[in-house]
Amino acid sequence: MLDARFVRENTELVEIAMQNRNYSWDKEGFLALDAQRRTLIGELESLQAQRNSTSKQIGVLMQAGKGEQAEAAKQEVRVVNARIEQLEGLTADADAALQGAVMTVPNIPSESTPLGADENDNVEVRRWGTPRAFDFVPQAHWDLGPALGIIDFERAVKLAKSRFILLGGLGARLERALINFMADTHGARGYKEWWCPALGNAETLTGTGNLPKFEDDLFKTTDGLYLIPTAEVMLTNIHRDEVLDGTELPLHYCAYTPCFREEAGSAGRDTRGLIRVHQFDKVEMVKFASPETSYAELEGMVADAEHILQLLGLPYRVIELCTGDIGFSAARTYDLEVWLPSYNAYKEISSCSNCTDFQARRANIKYRDPDAFKGTRLVHTLNGSGLAVGRTMAAVLENYQQADGSVALPEVLRPYLGGLERISLEKEQVCR
């Protein structure tokens, strides 16, 4: 959330930032709400001062034996009190209206974020690895998985609906292997692992910016809880309404969670296989940092996500998102895109963002560092996928497939699968 005072004092800057984001911001509406609120506060404070002054006069008048004047002053206070009570209600309504208006405004992009209208203006930063040249026609993972008996899309539809998946045998084991490998690797690089609830309350979803703007994208229970769209929601809100010790920053957290998204993309787009589904597994990274170090921490987070792909031997590229494509809470974002032969293209597998103090202001997360400054400051929060597990499985299946229909396993995963080197039909029970 942006600071309302900052928006008021920097309307031109905010207006340009929103234009760069392709976001339609009602500047005049915001200024009108802000002016109304400040007018009400001004009248309220004036009447409160008048009441205090008149109340003091009542005692003086009573001591002087001027009862009639004292009674008139009491009546004046009664009238003022009635108006104060009315103004307090109006001010609370104005506060809520202004807060609601600010809550739906996205973060201001970093000055270093490339200008651009949409994903076509994103900037490629680097590539790692070379896409494999097959000497046979490679299969897509949505064909490989069922053929090996490790993915069953049809029964998943029977159990739930489309865009859910059912993994069996070595498919289920490979999913667990990837989760454990990712969590272990991040833990070895200094991330504290958490095990989080998969349901969050409205305050939690509001803290990260998922509510109120993106409520339609969430699965909601009958008692007001939401299935989380990412562990970022939980990890960031661990310190909601807290003041952290600045000497302990940065904090590096990670967590595996299932993730749930009601709106999984437009119809017909990436709806086959494991790429865009309603429920998926992900290992998430979150950092809490000082404003002075947060952008260096972002580069480190990207390196941590890249490390996973490099250990798996999966070719990828790093993209910096432009102003028209970054997420609602982000000020700067890098996407990692893994090579998928089925698309003959790179597809997103991780997104790492610095949200600056945008989420911290919503969630009221501050820190105190007596050696650096007086008082408290808002922390900067960062988040990144480390990685999306289903998409990683798809990339492993497609990039490591063999001519006989089997799939070799990356060496780093073999210890998690009992030393297994290959997934083949002979080693797997067919789903029939």
The predicted structure's pLDDT at residue 426:
57
Angle between helices 27-63 and 11-20 (to 10 degrees): 150
The predicted structure's pLDDT at residue 298:
98
CB 301 within 8 A of CB 352: yes
> Cis peptide before 212, with omega less than 30 degrees from 0?
yes
User: Same structural domain for residues 75 and 138?
Assistant: no
Q: For residue 385, which amino acid is it?
A: S
Region 223-248 average pLDDT: 97
Catalytic residue check, 351: yes
> Cis peptide before 415, with omega less than 30 degrees from 0?
no
Domain assignment present for 235? yes
Render pLDDT for 186-210 as a digit per residue (tens, 0 to 9): 999 999 999 999 999 999 999 999 9
Region 330-356 average pLDDT: 98
User: Same structural domain for residues 130 and 65?
Assistant: no
Region 96-119 average pLDDT: 96
The predicted structure's pLDDT at residue 128:
98
Q: Which phi and psi (to 5°) does residue 271 adopt?
A: -90, -5
User: Same structural domain for residues 265 and 358?
Assistant: yes
**Residue tagged active-site, from 43, 76, 262, 348:** 348
DSSP string of 67-133, one letter each residue: HHHHHHHHHHHHHHHHHHHHHHHHHHHHHHHHHHHHHTSPPPPPTTSPP-SSGGG-EEEEEES----
**Class of residue 423 by CB neighbours under 10 A (exposed 0-12, middle 13-18, buried 19+):** buried
Render pLDDT for 4-13 as a digit per residue (tens, 0 to 9): 999 999 999 9
Domain assignment present for 109? no
The predicted structure's pLDDT at residue 230:
97
Provide the CATH number for the domain around residue 360: 3.30.930.10
Catalytic residue check, 317: no
The 3-state DSSP class for residue 270 equals coil
Ranges 120-129, 261-270, 298-307: which has the least confidence: 261-270
The predicted structure's pLDDT at residue 60:
87
Render pLDDT for 13-46 as a digit per residue (tens, 0 to 9): 999 999 999 999 999 999 999 999 999 999 999 9
pLDDT: is 107 or 57 the higher one?
107
User: Same structural domain for residues 293 and 150?
Assistant: yes
Provide the CATH number for the domain around residue 76: 1.10.287.40
Give the domain-ending residue among 103, 136, 169.
Answer: 103
CB 278 within 8 A of CB 359: no
User: Same structural domain for residues 63 and 159?
Assistant: no
Q: How confident is the model at residue 431 (pLDDT cuts 50, 70, 90)?
A: very low
The predicted structure's pLDDT at residue 310:
98
Q: How confident is the model at residue 272 (pLDDT cuts 50, 70, 90)?
A: confident
User: Same structural domain for residues 218 and 324?
Assistant: yes
pLDDT: is 71 or 181 the higher one?
181
Give the domain-ending residue among 34, 68, 103.
Answer: 103
Give the domain-ending residue among 78, 103, 128.
Answer: 103
Domain assignment present for 111? no
Give the whole-number percent of the chain exceeding pLDDT 70.
Answer: 97
Region 375-402 average pLDDT: 98
Region 275-301 average pLDDT: 97
Report how far residue 303's alpha carbon sits from residue 126's, in angstroms, rounded to the nearest whole number. Answer: 12
User: Same structural domain for residues 99 and 127?
Assistant: no
Q: What is the mean pLDDT of the chain?
A: 94
For residue 15, the Cα-to-chain-centroid distance in whole angstroms is: 23
Domain assignment present for 71? yes
Q: For residue 271, which amino acid is it?
A: T
User: Same structural domain for residues 64 and 179?
Assistant: no
CB 97 within 8 A of CB 33: yes
Residue corresponding to tokens 């911001």: 25
User: Same structural domain for residues 261 and 384?
Assistant: yes
> Cis peptide before 205, with omega less than 30 degrees from 0?
no
Domain assignment present for 291? yes
Render pLDDT for 72-88 as a digit per residue (tens, 0 to 9): 888 998 999 999 999 99
Q: How many domains, the chain?
A: 2
pLDDT of 264 above 80: no
Report how far residue 312's alpha carbon sits from residue 351's, in angstroms, rounded to the nearest whole number. Answer: 18
Report how far residue 402's alpha carbon sits from residue 423's, in angstroms, rounded to the nearest whole number. Answer: 10
Domain assignment present for 254? yes
Q: 23: phi > 0 → left, psi -120 to 50 → alpha, else beta; which?
A: beta
Region 359-379 average pLDDT: 92
For the entire predicted model, the pTM comes to 0.92
**Residue tagged active-site, from 351, 353, 385, 406:** 351
Render pLDDT for 162-185 as a digit per residue (tens, 0 to 9): 999 999 999 999 999 999 999 999
Region 379-396 average pLDDT: 98
Catalytic residue check, 261: yes
**Residue tagged active-site, from 21, 37, 261, 362:** 261
DSSP bridge partners of 398: none
The predicted structure's pLDDT at residue 432:
42
User: Same structural domain for residues 75 and 144?
Assistant: no
Ranges 61-70, 337-346, 350-359: which has the least confidence: 61-70
pLDDT: is 94 or 270 the higher one?
94
Region 236-255 average pLDDT: 97
Q: How confident is the model at residue 269 (pLDDT cuts 50, 70, 90)?
A: low
pLDDT: is 269 or 282 the higher one?
282
Q: How would you label 157-193 residue by residue, b for 16+ Cβ within 10 Å and e otherwise? A: eeeeeebbbbbbbbbebbbebbbebbbebbeebebee
Domain that includes residue 41, residue range: 4-103
Domain assignment present for 262? yes
The predicted structure's pLDDT at residue 67:
79
Residue 50 neighbours by CB distance under 10 Å? 15
Query: In this structure, what token pair is assigned to residue 202?
Result: 């409205």
The predicted structure's pLDDT at residue 175:
98
Q: Which phi and psi (to 5°) does residue 108 adopt?
A: -80, 125
Region 358-366 average pLDDT: 98
User: Same structural domain for residues 98 and 58?
Assistant: yes
CA distances from 428 to 143, 151, 172 (A): 15, 11, 11
User: Same structural domain for residues 123 and 55?
Assistant: no
**Residue tagged active-site, from 276, 332, 361, 362:** 276
Residue 69 neighbours by CB distance under 10 Å? 15
Domain assignment present for 110? no
